[in-house]
Chains A and B, each alone.
Chain A
Amino acid sequence: MKFWQKIYLFSFLVFVIIFNAASIMVIERSHNKMLGQEINNVLSQNMSIHSSVDAIVPILRIYDSIDYEKTVLTSIANEFVAKNSDEHVYMEITNDTNQMIFSNTDFTMPTHREELDNLDIDEINYILRDIDQHTILFTSNITNINNKRYVFTYMKDVTPLYQDRLDQYGFFVRVDLAACFLYMLIMLFVSRGLTKPINQLNRTAQVIAQGGFSERVRLKSKDEIGVLARNFNDMASVVENTINELERHNQEKQRFINNFTHELKTPLTSIIGYTNFLRTTKYNEERFLDGLNIIYSEGKRLESLSFKLMDLIMLQEDHFQMEEHDMGAVIAEIEPALEMMAKEKQVLIITDCEEGKLQLDKDLIKILIFNLVDNALKASAEQQSIMLRTYWRDGRYILEVIDQGIGISKEHGDKIFEPFYMADKARTRSYNGAGLGLSICQSVASIHNAVIEVGSKENQGTTIGVIFDQIGPKGGMNS
C-alpha cells in the first residue's frame, strides 16, 4: 500500500471512530438527560398526588367508608388525569386486596410489578417498561388510608423521548455520511499533497541511481522533508564529486598506461624492426651501421625510460633521508655535472645561490635539479644561458631555474606535470625524453612540502620556481 494511501486510510478510520463515538455519546447523554427530567417530572406529579391524598386523609378518616374513599380517590385521579390530558398520562389506584379503584390505562398492566416488591409507605419507586411498542414510565407509591394500603401508580408514556433519540440517530447518520464523504475528499488531496515531495525525492533518487549524478531535488519547504531533500542533495553532490574524481583518476590512469605503452613500444618496435631487418637481408655496410646506431640509441632510450620509471617508483615509497643540508652546497656539488650536460649544447649555466639550510633528501633534490635543468636545456637554443638561483622571500626558500628557450604554450600549461606528457613529441624524443621529468619533480617537491610554480612566455623563456615552505607540518628548519 502506498504511503499516501496509508495516511488516507488510517486518518479516515480514526476520524470515523472518534466522530461516531463522540456523536453517540452526545446523543445518548442528551437522551439520558431528557429521560431524567421526564422521570423527575413524573415523580413530582406523583408526589403532588401523594400530598393531595395526604391532605384529604383526615376527612376520609371521618367517614371511613370504602365507597367514599373510592369516590374521593377517583375524583382526585380524574382531576390529575384531566390536568395532564394532553400528555399521555395514566393513573391506576388499587387497594391492598388488589382491587381496582381507578384506572384509565388503555393497555394491559403487567401482572408482576417489581417496583412494588419492597416498597415502603411514603416512598416512590419508578420503573421503565416496554409495553406494546410504547415505553411507559411507572411511578408507584403506597398510601395508608384508614389502615388500608392503597397503591397509586402514576404512569407516563415516554415513547416520544425514544422516538426523539431515534430521530437524532437518523439525523446523525445523514450528517455522518456527509462528513465522511467530505473528509474523504479533503484527505485525498491532503495526503496526496503531503506525500508529493516524497514522490519527487523518489524520482530524483531513481534518476541518480541510473547514473544521472548531476540531478538534484528542487524542494524549498522547511519541514522535515525539506531537510531530507537538502541532505539528499548534499549526499548527491558528494557522490557526484567522488564519481567525477574517480572518473578523472581513471582517465589519468588510462592516459598513463597509453603513454607508457607508447613509450615502451616505440623503441622496442625500432629495435626489433632493425635487428630483424639486419639479420634477414643481405649485408650492406652503410645500412648495417645505420641500423646498429639506431638500435643502440633506442636501447639507450629504453634504459633512460627505465631509470626514470625507477625514480618515480622510488618516490612512491616512503623511506627518505631527510637531513638538514644547505641548498647552495647541494647545487655547488652538482654544478660540474650540469655544466657538462650544458656544454654539449653550448649553453651557459649561471648559478646565484643564497645560503639556505633546509630539511632535504639530498639525492632527491639532485634528481629534481637535474630534471629541471634537463628540461631547460631541451628548450634552449645554442649560446643561450640557464640561470639557477635560490633566495629567501617571506620566510620561504625559493629555487628557480630560468631559461631563455621556446617556452610553454597555454594549452599545455596544466598538463605538463602528468607523467609522459610531452608538449612537443618530436623535440623531446630527439633528446631521449619520455615526459617523466616534471612528474618526478612534482613528486620530489611534494615530499619536501614544496610547490612548483611555472611562469612561461612563448619564445621568451620559462621560469620554474620550487617554493620550499617548511614551516608546515614537515617543517624542521626553525627548530
Chain B
Amino acid sequence: MRSQFNSPIIVLGARFLAPYIMVFGLYVIFHGHYSPGGGFQGGALLAAAILLIRVATGRRVSRLQLKEFATTPLAVIGVVIYFATGLTAMIAGGYFLDYGQLPIPGMDPVWLRYTGILIIEVGVGLAVTAILVMIFDNMVKGEDYA
C-alpha cells in the first residue's frame, strides 16, 4: 500500500469509528450466549476495526497497532486454545470437547459447559481476527513487491 489517504477527515473518521467497532466485536463474542453472535462474527468485527485503521492511515500507524509478524502467532494461539480445551476435557476423563469434564473446581457440569463454550468462542474470535488481518497484510505486501 504505497499511496495512503492524506485527508485528515478520513483519518479522523477512522480513528473515531474503530474503537466502537472493536467494542461491538467484543460484545458480540462475549454476549453470544444470549443474542445472535459468536466467535466468527465477533472476530470479523474486530478484524474490521483493525483493517479500517490500516486502510485509512497506511503502514506506519498500523505497525503501532498490530504488527505484521504478530498475526501468525495469534492465529496459532487461537487454534491452540480450542484444541487445548478439548484435550483437557479428554485428559480429565471425558470425550474430546466434552466441557462438562473440565477441571475447574467449584462448578457443576452445566456451568462448566457454559464456560467451555465461552473459552472456545474466544479462541475462534482470536483466530478469525488474526487470519483476516494476515490475509490483508499478505495481499498488500504482494502488491507492493510485484
Instruction: Answer yes or no: are A and B bound together in one complex.
Output: no
Q: Which residues of B contact A (CB under 8 A)?
A: none
Q: Which residues of A contact B (CB under 8 A)?
A: none
